[in-house]
Structure 1
Amino acid sequence: MAMKREESQQTYLNKLRQRPDVQAVLVLPVSDLLVPFRDGAFYLVVVNQPQAEGKIRRLHIQGRVVMEQQISTWQLEKGAVSGLDERLAALLWRADIVWDKDGYMKQMKIRLSRLPVALQKKFICREYSQLLRFFHETKEFLQQGLILDAHHALIQSLHSWARLIVYEAGEHPQAALWSQVKQMDSSVFKLYEELSINGEALEKRIELLVLAIEFWITSKVKESVTFLMEVMESKAGPWRLEELVNHPAIVDAQIDVPLLIDKMLQRQLIQEVVFTEGANGDRESGVILLR
């Protein structure tokens, strides 16, 4: 029976190799956390057709489940420049190469493992803005006496903080994020540990972590918003909020610009200005970078 399964799977792989559009085939280890089953296989098939992006199939080969997810070379090339979807990136880094035409995937894995400085700044800015948002939610829920909601928001705050630390180290977040952070910043790991397993009352644990996070947020504003400041440096004069939010470098970056603007105003990194009144009498404010 085992031989039939092996032959069947080998036939499946041979068919993939013979397809002219297939560039590479990768497989995830069965023991991997991202594999949703144990009696089967998860294949990533790299093809040179953009329209195949995201295509996924669930196959049955002699009693075994085989998941096949297609990835286009165009998607990978774009990801090497502007960042890859994190789940897909995690799959690629952990997958083993089964077949690789012209060594394409081996080189692509090397390219994707590097975090370009421009992307690093963008991702740090994104995670900092998410940290701010969840931190504000934590404080609001805490003030309202909604302890479990405050706990949930605080967990999300710590998660964004952890991801930011990983990006600062020039790496990509892994599935076992806290194991990764433990090697990079033990103090942040211990804060997460305190929240998770400390025997004190939950409200008290949350209050202590709020103080620690608030101090870090305040001390790291300038370094964390470098990406946004560089965007603002691209033109002289003030920016309307709408201009910044819809800037091509920001629009799809999942950065909470209004929250960052408030924080940058508090730290006097930018200055608020008022534009000339419009026809309806509104006085719209904007911001200008202080040099």
Structure 2
Amino acid sequence: MTLRQTYLKNLQQRLDVQAVLVLNDSDMLVPFREGIFYFVVVNEPQADGKIRRMLFQEQVIIEQQISTWQLEKGAICGLDERLAEMLRRAEIVWDKDHYMKQMKLRLASLSSSLQKKHICREYSQILRFFHETKEFLQQGMMLDAHHSAIQTIHYLARLIVYEAGDHPQPALWTQVKQIDPSIYKLYEELSFNAEALEKRIELLVLAIEFWIASRTKESVRYLVELMETKSGPWRLEELMNHPMIQEAEIEIPLVVDKMLQRLLIQEVVCKEGENGDRETGFILMR
């Protein structure tokens, strides 16, 4: 009996094990360069993230456990991207009731609500790094501006992938080249153009500025749909602390500012203080 057969037989005898997957040792996502990397799917929530390094018949085995509970939650709310990609690439070597085969299909699909959430998050990151790029550029800090410009177009690339109904992959730019060659060309120009660095960043800023202005409404649908659940105004703190926003990791102040500029929302007075101060909130424009 081979090492794999013996190892699998031991796992199959455990009542909590639902499936076993193995990641090819040549895969770039393998977290350890030595040994065979296995995912063990179990029916115990407390097992999430548990990882063991073992010697089995003189062979190093790395075993990472993941619960069916985490997978079910991930199919609805989204799974950690690196973990999701590792599971996508991993080969199923044992699967009770075809559970993991079906789960792989669910994790690969992108529901409309999940797509909107990811797009809004990436859009907020584009705004964050775009503002940094412009600030550094104005202050003459070219290397810092270049770093922020790279981050800006990185999140733009991720957004483009989500818009296409797919998940970003480790080889992101190979993926984007197939989906939107114009965005790939922007990255290429920033990286390899013979122009001076300052000029390359300035050209990217112009392109991104135009893109942001034309795509705000489509990119903030997740936030708009949340705001539609309430008839009155939303205070900034209320939006920032909403569980849906915190879970999505959206940079709310930046998105709100852009929505105000694009006349998608309106600022109104929510409460007047005794000292003449007035707290404001935001309502959707109809």
* TM range, smaller chain: over 0.9
1:39/1:64 contact within 8 Å kept: no
2:37/2:63 contact within 8 Å kept: yes
Mapped to 1, the partners of 2:169 and 2:61 lie a distance apart of 24
Mapped to 2, the partners of 1:146 and 1:61 lie a distance apart of 54
1:269/1:289 contact within 8 Å kept: yes
Q: Which residue of 2 aligns with 1:111?
A: 106
User: Which residue, out of 84, 89, 102, partners 2:84?
Assistant: 89
Structure 1 residues 280, 26: CA separation in 2 closer, same or farther (over 3 Å shift)?
farther
The C-alpha deviation readout for 1:177-227, integer Å capped at 9, x for no partner, is 111111100010111111122222211111111111111011000000011
Q: Which residue of 2 aligns with 1:282?
A: 277
Which amino acid is the alignment partner of residue 129 of structure 1?
Answer: S
Structure 1 residues 166, 233: CA separation in 2 closer, same or farther (over 3 Å shift)?
same
The C-alpha deviation readout for 1:118-168, integer Å capped at 9, x for no partner, is 010010000000000011011111111111111111111111101101110
1:26/1:45 contact within 8 Å kept: yes
Which amino acid is the alignment partner of residue 19 of structure 2?
Answer: A
The C-alpha deviation readout for 1:68-124, integer Å capped at 9, x for no partner, is 111100000011111111111011111110100010000001111110000100100
Which amino acid is the alignment partner of residue 188 of structure 2?
Answer: E
1:241/1:258 contact within 8 Å kept: yes
Q: Are 1:183 and 2:198 an aligned pair?
A: no
Q: Are 1:229 and 2:224 an aligned pair?
A: yes
User: Which residue, out of 244, 247, 255, partners 1:252?
Assistant: 247
User: Which residue, out of 43, 46, 53, partners 2:41?
Assistant: 46
Unaligned runs of 5+ in 2: none
Mapped to 2, the partners of 1:144 and 1:161 lie a distance apart of 24
Q: Are 1:29 and 2:21 an aligned pair?
A: no
Mapped to 2, the partners of 1:14 and 1:197 lie a distance apart of 53
Mapped to 2, the partners of 1:241 and 1:17 lie a distance apart of 52
Mapped to 1, the partners of 2:187 and 2:61 lie a distance apart of 37
Unaligned runs of 5+ in 1: 1-5
Which amino acid is the alignment partner of residue 60 of structure 2?
Answer: V
Which amino acid is the alignment partner of residue 283 of structure 1?
Answer: R
Secondary structure at 2:53 match in 1? strand
1:44/1:70 contact within 8 Å kept: yes
Mapped to 2, the partners of 1:247 and 1:37 lie a distance apart of 38
| Alpha-carbon distance, 1:232 to partner | 0.6
Secondary structure at 1:275 match in 2? strand
Which amino acid is the alignment partner of residue 15 of structure 1?
Answer: N
TM-score (norm 1): 0.94
Q: Which residue of 1 aligns with 2:197?
A: 202
| Alpha-carbon distance, 1:39 to partner | 4.5
| Alpha-carbon distance, 1:279 to partner | 4.2
Secondary structure at 2:271 match in 1? coil
Mapped to 1, the partners of 2:36 and 2:193 lie a distance apart of 40
Structure 1 residues 201, 74: CA separation in 2 closer, same or farther (over 3 Å shift)?
same
1:25/1:97 contact within 8 Å kept: yes
2:268/2:280 contact within 8 Å kept: yes
1:44/1:68 contact within 8 Å kept: yes
1:9/1:61 contact within 8 Å kept: no
Show structure 1 runs of 4+ deviating over 4 A: none
Mapping 1:115-264, distance limit 5 Å: 115-264=110-259
RMSD, aligned CA: 1.4
TM-score (norm 2): 0.96
Secondary structure at 1:231 match in 2? helix
The number of aligned residues is 286
2:271/2:280 contact within 8 Å kept: no
1:131/1:160 contact within 8 Å kept: yes
Q: Which residue of 2 aligns with 1:3?
A: none
The C-alpha deviation readout for 1:259-281, integer Å capped at 9, x for no partner, is 01100000101111112313454
Mapped to 1, the partners of 2:164 and 2:196 lie a distance apart of 34
Identity of aligned residues (%): 72
Secondary structure at 2:200 match in 1? helix
